[in-house]
Amino acid sequence: MRLVVCGTDTDVGKTVVSALLVQGLGARYWKPVQSGLDPCGGDTGTVEGLLNLPAERLVPEAYRLTMPASPHWAAARDGVQIEADRLNLPRGNDPLVVETAGGLLVPLRLDWLQIDQLERWQLPVVLVARSGLGTLNHTLLSVEALQHRGIPLLGLVLNGPLHPDNPRTLEAIARVPVLAELPPLQPLSAEGLAQQWQRLDLASRLKQRHLALADKQQAE
Backbone angles phi, psi at 179, to 5 degrees: -70, -35
Catalytic residue status for 31: yes
115, 100, 117, 111: which is closest to 72 by C-alpha? 111
Is residue 151 within 8 A of residue 122, CB to CB? The reply is: yes
The domain total for the chain is 1
Task: Give the integer Cα–Cα distance in Å for 25 and 202.
Answer: 10
Q: How do the pLDDT tens digits run along the chain, 220 residues long?
A: 999 999 999 889 999 999 999 999 999 999 999 998 877 778 999 999 999 999 999 999 999 999 999 999 999 999 999 999 999 999 988 999 999 998 999 999 999 999 999 999 999 999 999 999 999 999 999 999 999 999 999 999 999 999 999 999 999 999 999 999 999 999 999 999 999 999 999 999 999 998 988 887 777 6
113, 132, 134: which is closest to 6 by C-alpha? 113
CATH code for the domain in which residue 18 is found: 3.40.50.300
Is residue 192 within 8 A of residue 164, CB to CB? The reply is: no
Residue-range definition of the domain harbouring residue 156: 2-219
Residue 189 CB neighbours (<10 A): 12
51, 75, 63, 68: which is closest to 10 by C-alpha? 68
Is residue 156 within 8 A of residue 146, CB to CB? The reply is: no
Note the pLDDT of residue 108.
97
Note the pLDDT of residue 220.
67
220, 63, 101: which is closest to 150 by C-alpha? 220
Q: What is the pTM of this model?
A: 0.95
Q: What proportions of the chain, in percent to the nearest 5, are helix, strand and coil?
A: 45, 20, 35
Choice among 14, 31, 207, 216 that is catalytic: 31
177, 138, 187, 132: which is closest to 155 by C-alpha? 177
Is residue 71 within 8 A of residue 88, CB to CB? The reply is: no
The stretches of 60-99 forming alpha helices (DSSP H) are 71-77
Note the pLDDT of residue 192.
96
